[in-house]
A and B are shown apart, each in its own frame.
Chain A
Amino acid sequence: MSYQLENSQRGEKYNTIFSKVTPAQRRNRNARSRWRARLLLGLYLVLMILPIYWLINMSLQTNSEILGSMTLWPQNLTFDNYIGIFTNPSWYMGYVNSMLYVAMNMLITICVALPAAYAFSRYTFIGDKHLFFWLLTNLMAPPAVFLLPYFQLYYSVGLFDTHIAVALAHCLFNIPLAIWILEGFMSSVPKEIDETAYIDGYSFPKFFIKIFIPMIRSGIGVTLFFLFMFSWVELLLARTLTATSAQPIGMIMTRTSTASGIDWGTLAAAGVLTIIPGILVVYFVRNHIAKGFALGRT
C-alpha cells in the first residue's frame, strides 16, 4: 500500500518535471480515468448481481405476475412463497437435512484431515509423496463414477437414505481437499515449534490442541469454507443416496415442477434461502480467503 503510494507520488513528481501538461489538464484527466474505472466496475457489479436480483425479485412475486409480464420490481409484494416454505415440513426439512449432512461431513473431514495433513507435513515415510498425489487424484475423478458402487454398497449395508451416508460419500472429495489445504498451512509452521513444545514437556495431543491448532486457525477456517461449499452445492451423490428422510434441499426444489406447471415463486424463494448460508460462511472467512487460495504457501 505504502509502496504504491510512494510510486504514485514519484510519478506525480516525474510528471511535474517533465510533462508539458498543465496541472489543471492533469486533474481533469485523473478525474476522467477515475470515473471510467467506476463506470466499468459498476457495470460489472450490475451484470454480476442481475441474476441474483432477478431471483429475489421473483421470490417476492406471485406466479401470475412472474408469468404475466416482465416487471423490474414486485408490483404486488408477497411473502407467501417464503411463508409456504417455512410452514411446510417437507420443504424446510430439506434445509435441515442438507445442513445436517454438511455439518457431519465437515466434522468427519476435519477430524480425519488434521492428523493426516500433520503427518504429510512433518514426517517422511516410504511413498509419502505418492500417497499425497493419490489423494489428489480422488479430486480428479467425476463423482458420477462412484455413484453406482456407492448406491449399491450403502443399500446393502443399510446406510441408504441416512444423513451419514451423504456425509461419508462427500468425504471422498472433501478429505483430499482438506488435507491438501491444511498441509500447506502446517508446512508454513516451523518444525522447531513442535520440538520446543516437546522440550518444554508437552505431550503430543496437548501440543496439537493447545499450540498447533491455534497457529493454523485461519487455515482451518478456510478449509471449513471449502468443505461447506462443496458439500452444500453437491447434488448428484446427495440425491442418489437419499429417498425421503434425508433428502437434500436441492432435490426438494425439483418438486416445484409438476404436471400443472412450475411453481416459480416458491422455487425462487427456495433458491434465495439456499444462497444465504453460503453468504454467511463467506462473511466469516473473508479475511483469510486469499491466503486460503494460496494454500498457506505464502
Chain B
Amino acid sequence: MSLHLQNIDHIVGGVPHISGVDLALEPGSFNVLLGRTLAGKTTLMRLMAGLEPPTRGKVIMDGKDVTNVSVRKRNVSMVYQQFINYPSFTVYDNIASPLKLAKHPKKEIEKRVNEIAEMLHIEHLLHRFPQELSGGQQQRTAMGRALVKDADLILFDEPLVNLDYKLREELRDELRDLFKARNCIAVYATTEPNEALALGGNTAVLHEGKLLQYGPTEQVYREPDSRFSAEMFSEPPINIVPGKLGAGEITFDHKLHFPCDAKLQRLAPGEYDFGVRASHLTLKPQHADDLALEVHVDVAEISGSETFLHVHHERFPLVLHLAGIHQFNVNDPLTVYVPTHQLYAFDNQGHTVHIPTRKGVTAHG
C-alpha cells in the first residue's frame, strides 16, 4: 500500500490552502507532517483521507487513482485533535463499530476489540460511555477505533495536543510501538519539532500550504534545504543573522569581522543569511574559532529543565538554548560564543547553500 499525492492544489473560496504538493509515502512508513498552524496539515490529511477532493491534482493509492473515491470506500482511519467518539455508544461499541460495519464475525470482533483495548490500557473501561472518561481515555478510545481495523492509511491530526504533558509523552511512546508491527502508512500531524524528532520516521515540513522538504526525520533536521525549513524544524527557531561573505571572512552587521570556515570559503562572496542553532550558542568558549559577542539579556524563558535565553546584539536578536535552569536579569551584559564552524548559510532566495559538517560525518552535497 503506497500513497502518492501528485501536484495537489486545494483552493477554498479563492484562497489556496495547499499549493503544488507532491508527496509519495512508502508502504509501512511513519510520516510526520510538521508545520505551524495554518500550514495546511489538516487540509492535507483531509485530502489524503478523501474527506475533500483536491481542486487540482491526483491522489494515487497503490497505483490506482482514488482522487474522487468517497472516504467510505477507502480503507483509512483518522484520529482528530478533539476527542471524537460516538457518545451514545459504549467504549466497546465505539471501538467495535468499524468492524461491525465491515460485517466481521462476532467472535473475531470481540477478540480484536479486547486486544486493542489491552494495548491502549482501556480494557477495564469497555462498558463505560465516552463522557464518563478522562480526556486521555477518550482519546485512547478514538485511537482504538482507528487502529482496530486494518486500515491502509491511518491519519493522526495532532492527537495529543489536548492532553497534559505527561500523558502526551506516554501515549507518544506507545504510538510508535503500535505501528512497528503494522504495514500501513501512518501520518501524524504536529506543530512541535520536538515531537517530530521523538517520533522519528519521515518528516514533511509544511509552510503556508507548500511542502518545503520531505525525508527521514533526522536528515531533514540536520540538513534543512531552506531557511524556512530550518526555522520550522527547530525549537526555539534557528537564529538567522544577515551577513556578508568576503575573502576569507564573514562580516555581521557591517562591523563584526571574523575568519570563516574553510568549507564556507567555497561559496561565492556576497550577502547571505547565516543560521546558527540556539543549542549551539554557549556562554563559555568551547572552540578556538568561537566568535565572542557582547549582548544584553531580554528575557530568560524556563521550559521544563531548560532555559531559552533571549538576548540582543546591537542590530540582531539571538536565542540560546541552555540546559538547566538559569537566572538572568533583564539588560544584563553578557558574552555569548558563536561556533563559527557550525554556521548554516542561506542565499537570498532562502535556499541552503552551506551545511556545517558534524564530527565524524561527511556532509552531503
A positions within 8 Å CB-CB of B: 190, 192-193, 195-203, 211, 214-215
Contacts A190-B82, A193-B86, A196-B142 known; 19 new A-B pairs at CB < 8 A: A190-B84, A192-B80, A192-B82, A196-B80, A196-B86, A198-B51, A198-B71, A199-B51, A199-B72, A199-B78, A200-B77, A200-B97, A200-B98, A200-B101, A201-B72, A202-B97, A202-B101, A214-B88, A215-B87
User: Do B88 and A211 have beta carbons less than 8 Å apart?
Assistant: yes
Q: Which residue of A lies closest to B74 (CB)?
A: A199
* Chain B positions 71 through 107: 1 when the CB is less than 8 Å from some CB of chain A, otherwise 0: 1100011101010101111000000011001100000
B49 within 8 Å of A (CB atoms): yes
Return 25 A-B CB contacts under 8 Å, by A number: A190-B82, A190-B84, A192-B82, A192-B84, A195-B51, A195-B78, A196-B78, A196-B80, A196-B84, A196-B145, A198-B70, A199-B49, A199-B71, A199-B76, A199-B77, A199-B78, A200-B101, A200-B145, A201-B72, A201-B101, A201-B102, A203-B72, A214-B88, A215-B87, A215-B88
Chain A residues near B71 (CB, 8 Å)?
A: 195, 198-199
Tell me, rounded to whole Å, the shortest Cβ–Cβ distance linking A215 to chain B. 6
User: Do B86 and A211 have beta carbons less than 8 Å apart?
Assistant: yes
Tell me, rounded to whole Å, the shortest Cβ–Cβ distance linking A129 to chain B. 15
Q: Which residue of A lies closest to B80 (CB)?
A: A192
Q: Which residue of A lies closest to B151 (CB)?
A: A199
* Distance in angstroms between the alpha carbons of A83 and B51 in the assembled complex: 64
Q: Which 10 A-B pairs have the closest CB atoms?
A: A214-B88, A201-B101, A200-B98, A192-B84, A192-B80, A198-B71, A196-B84, A211-B86, A199-B78, A200-B97
Chain A residues near B80 (CB, 8 Å)?
A: 192, 196
User: Do A201 and B82 have beta carbons less than 8 Å apart?
Assistant: no
Chain A residues near B87 (CB, 8 Å)?
A: 214-215
Chain B residues near A193 (CB, 8 Å)?
A: 84, 86
Q: Which residue of A lies closest to B79 (CB)?
A: A196
User: Do A198 and B84 have beta carbons less than 8 Å apart?
Assistant: no
B positions within 8 Å CB-CB of A: 49, 51, 70-72, 76-78, 80, 82, 84, 86-89, 97-98, 101-102, 142, 145
Tell me, rounded to whole Å, the shortest Cβ–Cβ distance linking B35 to chain A. 20
Tell me, rounded to whole Å, the shortest Cβ–Cβ distance linking A201 to chain B. 4
* Distance in angstroms between the alpha carbons of A198 and B70 in the assembled complex: 9
Chain B residues near A198 (CB, 8 Å)?
A: 51, 70-72
Chain A residues near B78 (CB, 8 Å)?
A: 195-196, 199
Chain B residues near A200 (CB, 8 Å)?
A: 77, 97-98, 101, 145
Chain A residues near B89 (CB, 8 Å)?
A: 211
* Distance in angstroms between the alpha carbons of A198 and B71 in the assembled complex: 7
Tell me, rounded to whole Å, the shortest Cβ–Cβ distance linking B307 to chain A. 38
Tell me, rounded to whole Å, the shortest Cβ–Cβ distance linking A1 to chain B. 19
Interface of A is mostly: helix
* Distance in angstroms between the alpha carbons of A198 and B97 in the assembled complex: 11
Chain A residues near B97 (CB, 8 Å)?
A: 200, 202
Chain A residues near B70 (CB, 8 Å)?
A: 198
* Distance in angstroms between the alpha carbons of A197 and B145 in the assembled complex: 11
* Distance in angstroms between the alpha carbons of A199 and B89 in the assembled complex: 17
Chain B residues near A214 (CB, 8 Å)?
A: 87-88
Chain A residues near B88 (CB, 8 Å)?
A: 211, 214-215
Tell me, rounded to whole Å, the shortest Cβ–Cβ distance linking B147 to chain A. 12
Chain B residues near A199 (CB, 8 Å)?
A: 49, 51, 71-72, 76-78
Q: Which residue of A lies closest to B155 (CB)?
A: A199
* Distance in angstroms between the alpha carbons of A215 and B142 in the assembled complex: 17
**Given A195-B51, A195-B71, A195-B78, A201 and B98 touching (CB < 8 A)?**
yes
Tell me, rounded to whole Å, the shortest Cβ–Cβ distance linking A55 to chain B. 42
Q: Which residue of B lies closest to A197 (CB)?
A: B86
Chain B residues near A197 (CB, 8 Å)?
A: 86
Chain A residues near B51 (CB, 8 Å)?
A: 195, 198-199
Q: Which residue of B lies closest to A204 (CB)?
A: B72
* Distance in angstroms between the alpha carbons of A229 and B76 in the assembled complex: 46
* Distance in angstroms between the alpha carbons of A201 and B72 in the assembled complex: 5
Chain A residues near B84 (CB, 8 Å)?
A: 190, 192-193, 196
Chain B residues near A203 (CB, 8 Å)?
A: 72
Chain A residues near B49 (CB, 8 Å)?
A: 199
* Distance in angstroms between the alpha carbons of A198 and B84 in the assembled complex: 13
Q: Which residue of A lies closest to B51 (CB)?
A: A195
Chain B residues near A192 (CB, 8 Å)?
A: 80, 82, 84
Q: Which residue of A lies closest to B49 (CB)?
A: A199
Q: Which residue of A lies closest to B101 (CB)?
A: A201
* Distance in angstroms between the alpha carbons of A211 and B78 in the assembled complex: 18
Tell me, rounded to whole Å, the shortest Cβ–Cβ distance linking A210 to chain B. 8
* Distance in angstroms between the alpha carbons of A190 and B72 in the assembled complex: 19
Chain B residues near A201 (CB, 8 Å)?
A: 72, 98, 101-102
Tell me, rounded to whole Å, the shortest Cβ–Cβ distance linking A126 to chain B. 13
* Distance in angstroms between the alpha carbons of A200 and B84 in the assembled complex: 12
Q: Which residue of A lies closest to B86 (CB)?
A: A211
Tell me, rounded to whole Å, the shortest Cβ–Cβ distance linking A296 to chain B. 15
Q: Which residue of A lies closest to B76 (CB)?
A: A199
* Distance in angstroms between the alpha carbons of A193 and B80 in the assembled complex: 10
Tell me, rounded to whole Å, the shortest Cβ–Cβ distance linking B131 to chain A. 11
Chain A residues near B77 (CB, 8 Å)?
A: 199-200
Interface centre among A190, A201, A203 (most CB of B within 10 A): A201
Tell me, rounded to whole Å, the shortest Cβ–Cβ distance linking A51 to chain B. 42
Interface centre among A192, A196, A199 (most CB of B within 10 A): A199
Q: Which residue of A lies closest to B157 (CB)?
A: A192
Tell me, rounded to whole Å, the shortest Cβ–Cβ distance linking B130 to chain A. 11
* Distance in angstroms between the alpha carbons of A143 and B77 in the assembled complex: 51
Interface centre among A192, A200, A214 (most CB of B within 10 A): A200
* Distance in angstroms between the alpha carbons of A215 and B80 in the assembled complex: 19
Tell me, rounded to whole Å, the shortest Cβ–Cβ distance linking A15 to chain B. 39
* Distance in angstroms between the alpha carbons of A211 and B51 in the assembled complex: 19
Tell me, rounded to whole Å, the shortest Cβ–Cβ distance linking B82 to chain A. 6
